[in-house]
């Protein structure tokens, strides 16, 4: 079956632009995470969904970051008024349930110029 799909694979934005990153998790997966990964670092937690409920958004770095999963499947991470420090790889991961292994997408590499 299909894995976790993220789009776009690469995104170049001018500073101040808004961007939207899409994640299509594995069908039936309840848990969905967004992470930010800087070069040479580990994934840093951004937010967590259980079905359509956003249970934890404590990792979102500012109110410019917003995530949703309205029907409990596809999720979108939106970044408003992008800044250079937002440049990173954004990873989406899903799992069947809590404490199960995560399946990762290939990530979206965001470059803000």
Partner 1 sequence: GDSVTQMEGPVTLSEEAFLTINCTYTATGYPSLFWYVQYPGEGLQLLLKATKADDKGSNKGFEATYRKETTSFHLEKGSVQVSDSAVYFCALSRSTSGTYKYIFGTGTRLKVLA
- Judged by CB under 8 A, does residue 66 bind partner 1? no
* Beta carbon of residue 10, minimum distance to partner 1 (angstroms, whole number): 14
22 phi and psi angles, rounded to 5 deg: -110, 145
Between 50 and 83, name the residue whose CB sits nearer to partner 1: 50
- Judged by CB under 8 A, does residue 39 bind partner 1? no
| The residue to which tokens 């409990």 are assigned | 72
What stretches of 1-113 adopt beta strand conformation (E)? Answer: 5-7, 10-13, 19-24, 31-37, 44-50, 53-56, 65-68, 75-79, 88-95, 103-104, 108-112
- Judged by CB under 8 A, does residue 1 bind partner 1? no
Q: How many CB atoms lie within 10 A of CB 90?
A: 23
Structure tokens at 73: 């499947």
- Judged by CB under 8 A, does residue 25 bind partner 1? no
How many residues lie near partner 1 (CB under 8 A)? 23
Between 13 and 102, name the residue whose CB sits nearer to partner 1: 102
Interface residue with partner 1 among 19, 21, 67, 91 (CB under 8 A) is 91
């Amino acid at each position: 079956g299909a894995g976790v799909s993220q789009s776009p694979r690469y995104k170049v934005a001018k500073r101040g632009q808004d961007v939207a990153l899409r994640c299509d998790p594995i069908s039936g997966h309840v848990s969905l995470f967004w992470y930010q990964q800087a070069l040479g670092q580990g994934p840093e937690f951004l937010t967590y969904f259980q079905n359509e409920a956003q249970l934890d958004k404590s990792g979102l770095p500012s109110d410019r970051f917003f995530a949703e999963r309205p029907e409990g499947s596809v999720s979108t991470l939106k970044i408003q008024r992008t800044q250079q420090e937002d440049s990173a790889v954004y990873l989406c991961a899903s799992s069947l349930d809590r404490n199960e292994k995560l399946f990762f997408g290939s990530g979206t590499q965001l470059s803000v110029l």
